[in-house]
């Protein structure tokens, strides 16, 4: 079967063919515009050495800048021992000074979860440092 | 395929009949494929997008 078959003799078919051609052209333009607006790079096109070996390694690169600028070594160590999600929440709360509600939107979780993670994170840091001794207070 | 047969298939596709829609896609596959090339390369994602677009808009064609 071929769409060109009898197209000159069938008015409905000719009309539909023209309509379909226009529809496809417009849809293709929309598709291309959308592709341009949202540029993305395929993982296949990246060199292997550009990709982190594991997801953990990738997450570590996100926090490798030490956003808090810790001067206290034990605090930095304790912070690095926190789960990555908790680290990210603390960073967003205290470095980027964002509100729990905004963080919840970014991380796709509830504001209550953000608050819980903050409390747990701070509790762990406090406990680790106090147990280590010779910190004032 | 004669005029009547085509009209029945087209009417069925517009009404939401899957079999008729598939038949129509088969008939017009060369035309659809013609629009699926980007920079000379066939793009399967684009074809999926066009078929979805056609499925969602075919009811707008007035017989």
B3·A24 Cβ contact <8 A: no
Residue A85: both structure tokens together: 């999600």
Task: Please check whether residue A13 touches B, CB under 8 A.
Answer: yes
Helices B44-57 and A11-37 cross at an angle (nearest 10°) of 130
Check whether A5 has a pLDDT greater than 80. Answer: no
How near does any CA of chain A get to the CA of B3, in Å?
6
Interface mutation target, options B1, B10, B59, B60, chain A, most CBs of A under 10 Å? B1
Q: How far apart are CA B51 and CA B36, in angstroms?
A: 10
Check whether A103 has a pLDDT greater than 80. Answer: yes
Please give the distance of CA B28 from its chain centroid, rounded to a whole number.
Answer: 6
pLDDT band of residue A136 (cuts 50, 70, 90) is very low
A10·B3 Cβ contact <8 A: yes
Q: Which one of A3, A12, A28 has the shortest CB-CB distance to B50? A: A28
Interface mutation target, options B11, B20, B45, B49, chain A, most CBs of A under 10 Å? B49
Check whether A90 has a pLDDT greater than 80. Answer: yes
Q: What is the ipTM of this complex?
A: 0.94
Task: Please check whether residue B30 touches A, CB under 8 A.
Answer: yes
CB contact set of A89 (below 8 Å; sequence gap of 6+):
A103, A107, A114, A117, A118, A121
CB contact set of B34 (below 8 Å; sequence gap of 6+):
none
Check whether A4 has a pLDDT greater than 60. Answer: no
Residue B5: both structure tokens together: 């047969």
Check whether B46 has a pLDDT greater than 50. Answer: yes
Q: Could you read off the pLDDT of A61-85 as tens digits, one per residue?
A: 555 555 566 666 777 888 888 888 8
* pLDDT at site A108: 80
Residue with tokens 């912070």, as numbered in its chain: A79
Please spell the DSSP secondary structure of A57-112, one letter per residue.
HHHHHHTTT-TT---SHHHHHHHHHS-HHHHHHHIIIIIS---HHHHHHHHTS-HH
CB contact set of B37 (below 8 Å; sequence gap of 6+):
B43
Residue B42's region, left for phi above 0, alpha for psi from -120 to 50, else beta, is beta
State the first-to-last Cα distance of chain A, in angstroms, to the nearest integer: 85
Averaged confidence pLDDT in chain A:
77
Residue A30: both structure tokens together: 């929309």
Residue positions counted in chain B: 63
How near does any CA of chain B get to the CA of A36, in Å?
13
* pLDDT at site A27: 93
pLDDT band of residue B10 (cuts 50, 70, 90) is very high
pLDDT band of residue A3 (cuts 50, 70, 90) is low
Q: Could you read off the pLDDT of A37-69 as tens digits, one per residue?
A: 765 666 666 666 666 666 666 656 555 555 566
Question: Does the model's pTM come out above 0.90?
Answer: no
* Closest residue, chain B, to A19 (C-alpha): B61
Integer CA distances (angstroms), A136 to A70, A87, A131, B11, B57, in order = 17, 24, 12, 82, 70
* pLDDT at site A79: 85
Q: Are A59 and A65 in contact (CB under 8 A)?
A: no
pLDDT band of residue A137 (cuts 50, 70, 90) is very low
How near does any CA of chain B get to the CA of A45, in Å?
16
Average pLDDT over residues A16-28: 94
């Amino acid at each position: 079967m071929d769409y060109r078959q009898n197209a000159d003799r069938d008015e409905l078919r000719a009309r539909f063919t023209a309509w379909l051609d226009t529809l496809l052209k417009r849809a293709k333009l929309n598709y291309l515009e959308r592709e341009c607006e949202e540029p993305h790079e395929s993982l296949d096109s990246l060199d292997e050495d550009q990709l982190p070996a594991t997801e953990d390694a990738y997450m570590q690169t996100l926090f490798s800048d030490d956003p808090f600028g810790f001067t206290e070594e034990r605090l930095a160590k304790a912070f690095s021992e926190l789960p990555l999600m908790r680290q990210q929440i603390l960073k967003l709360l205290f470095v980027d000074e964002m509100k729990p509600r905004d963080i919840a939107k970014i991380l796709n979780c509830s504001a209550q979860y953000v608050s819980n993670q903050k409390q747990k994170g701070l509790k762990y840091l406090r406990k680790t440092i106090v147990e280590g001794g010779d910190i004032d207070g | 395929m004669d005029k009547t047969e085509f009209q029945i298939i087209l009417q069925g596709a517009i009404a939401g009949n899957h079999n008729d829609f598939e038949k129509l896609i088969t008939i017009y596959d060369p035309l659809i494929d013609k629009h699926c090339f980007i920079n000379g390369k066939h793009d399967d994602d684009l074809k999926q997008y066009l078929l979805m677009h056609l499925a969602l808009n075919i009811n707008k064609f007035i017989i």
